[in-house]
Amino acid sequence: MALGSITSLGAGSSLDLQGILDQLREVEEEAALTPLENQKAQVEAQLAEFDVLEAKFLDMKSHALTLSLASSFLERQVTVGDSAVLTATVAAGTTPFTATVEVVRLASRSTFQSDGVSDPDAALVTADSTFAYHLGATGETISLEVAAGTTLNQLAALINDDPNNPGVTATVIDDGTGSTPYRLVLRANDPGEDNRITIDTPLADLAFTEVQGAGTSLNAELKVDGITYERQRNTDLTDVLQGVTLTLQSTGTTTVQVTTDTTGIKTAITELVSTFNDIVQEIRANSGFDEETGTFGPLAAATTIRNLDGELTVLLGSRIETGGTYTSLFDLGLSIDRDGTIRIDEAILDAALASNLEDVQTLFAGDEEAGITGLGELLNDRLLQITKSTGLLAAEKEAAQGELDRLETRIEETQARLDRRFEVLAKQFAALDVLSRQMEQQATFLSNFINSLNPQNA
């Protein structure tokens, strides 16, 4: 007698064996895996928070580094009264000053123009000739052999293509006048007397007239507080005002003023305070117990991290024996609030930067010759110990990553153990299902057999 076959769990017994098995698995996974998954989520949150803190510490470190460098206190700004006369840039560390500058004459380029011809492509030179010229007072004479029949355009090309050309450009122009509008213009590539064109041997067939530089200097002329200077060019004049680069724009008189620029220093100090406050708030927001969720913050167990805000507060308040007016940040308007954050009185800071920048520099950047280590260097060194690849944060991250790896291994092992357990249970349930089916079939067979023996059923 065939007992039939079971095609799905529970089909033989009419019991929800698959449901029972799923419920058992859910209960065991809840008990074995959920605590591990929760721990994993906490460690992952901790790692993410370490990354957030690292970015904030690095931000603070960048400002501390700026303040530790003496060069940061050498920024200057230059103000020009009339930028239509000249513009200027200033180098760091330039001694502040104010000067009156009169641009008497701009440097110009030596220019010659030839007589006009009617056709630039018609033969111009009637006989083999020599055209010679030189630049400046001591320039080498350039001699060009000009063949008979050379046109105006060919003469321009001969000059431009000469490998010995010292810096002259020949151009054929159409000035639009009369029947002979085409002229050859010779123009020095650079301004100044050192580039003045002198025609030593002119062409008999083409006369030239000096149109720029005739009877006047090609050099720029300017007066600084009454003292006269001549220069070959109008741009990049670095040797007139110490530390200042001038670009002459037009004739006229203006003032040039160099002052100390404390904008960058003030920004570095205020941003140092701001980034510290960000760190304090970040640590405290992630260190406490959340009564709503019943969980601790990701930094609750990171004692070394939680203690950093107090350590940095003490460091920020360090007294530096500068021998000057300012020996700590408190002298620059620093105060500490009850919540552990700090603030700086910008009015006090502005007054210090305006009146005694050198003492502020010593406070932050120190003085190597005097053996003074500045507050900026102290902060930068400590923040380096926190943020470097082998530093405090890196150690915390490494430990957390190790814990995360161990948890993931435990989760994998636990999941594999549960999989094996329920694979066995599934087989046992399947065997029970088959047995139940067989027993039901046997019961039905016996019931039918007994009924067949009853005469009343004959």
SS (H, E, C) the chain: CCCCCCCCCCCCCCCCHHHHHHHHHHHHHHHHCHHHHHHHHHHHHHHHHHHHHHHHHHHHHHHHHHHHCHHHHHCEEEEECCCCCEEEEECCCCCCEEEEEEEEECCCCCEEEECCECCCCCCCCCCCEEEEEEECCCCCCEEEEECCCCCHHHHHHHHHCCCCCCCEEEEEEECCCCCCCEEEEEEECCCCHHHCEEEEECECCECEEEEECCCCCCCEEEEECCEEEEECCCCCECCCCCCEEEEECCCEEEEEEEEECCHHHHHHHHHHHHHHHHHHHHHHHCCCEECCCCEECCCCCCHHHHCHHHHHHHHHCCCCCCCCCCCCHHHHCEEECCCCCEEECHHHHHHHHHHCHHHHHHHHHCECCCCECCHHHHHHHHHHHHHCCCCHHHHHHHHHHHHHHHHHHHHHHHHHHHHHHHHHHHHHHHHHHHHHHHHHHHHHHHHHHHHHHCHHHC
Q: Which two tokens stand for residue 402?
A: 């190790």
Calpha distance 335→355 (Å, rounded): 21
Beta-bridged to residue 252, according to DSSP, are: 103
pLDDT of residue 14: 58
**Residue percentage of the chain with pLDDT more than 70:** 92
Angle between helices 375-387 and 34-68 (to 10 degrees): 150
pLDDT of residue 4: 42
Q: Note the pLDDT tens digit of each residue in 9-34.
A: 555 555 666 777 778 777 877 788 88
pLDDT of residue 270: 97
Mean pLDDT computed over 327-342: 93
Which residue has better confidence, 302 or 167? 167
**Residue percentage of the chain with pLDDT more than 90:** 72
Confidence of residue 3 (pLDDT cuts 50, 70, 90): very low
Domain ranges of the chain: 34-72+263-396, 76-106+219-260, 111-212
pLDDT of residue 5: 43
pLDDT of residue 424: 79
CATH class for the region spanning 111-212: alpha beta
Q: Note the pLDDT tens digit of each residue in 157-212.
A: 999 999 999 999 999 999 999 999 999 999 999 999 999 999 999 999 999 999 99
Assess whether pLDDT exceeds 80 at residue 455.
Answer: no
Mean pLDDT computed over 59-79: 96
Answer whether 102's CB lies under 8 Å from 310's CB: no
Integer angstrom CA distances of residue 246 from 86, 90, 209, 236 = 7, 9, 33, 6
Q: Note the pLDDT tens digit of each residue in 226-246.
A: 999 999 999 999 999 999 999
Amino acid, single-letter form, for residue 419:
D
Assess whether pLDDT exceeds 70 at residue 71.
Answer: yes
User: Distance between alpha carbon 381 and the CA centroid of its chain, in Å?
Assistant: 22
Confidence of residue 294 (pLDDT cuts 50, 70, 90): confident
pLDDT of residue 1: 34
pLDDT of residue 123: 97
* Listed range (19-33, 149-163, 344-358, 375-389) with the worst mean pLDDT: 19-33
The mean pLDDT value of the chain amounts to: 90
Answer whether 240's CB lies under 8 Å from 226's CB: no
pLDDT of residue 77: 96
Name the residue among 255, 254, 250, 189 with its Cα closest to residue 220: 250
Q: Note the pLDDT tens digit of each residue in 397-423.
A: 999 999 999 998 998 888 888 888 877
pLDDT of residue 238: 97
For tokens 């900026």, name the residue: 376
Calpha distance 209→321 (Å, rounded): 74
Assess whether pLDDT exceeds 80 at residue 60.
Answer: yes
Q: What is the pTM of this model?
A: 0.74
pLDDT of residue 441: 66
Q: Which two tokens stand for residue 21?
A: 């098995």
Calpha distance 230→252 (Å, rounded): 15
The count of C-alpha atoms lying within 13 angstroms of the C-alpha of 341, restricted to the half-sphere facing its C-beta, is 13
Confidence of residue 119 (pLDDT cuts 50, 70, 90): very high
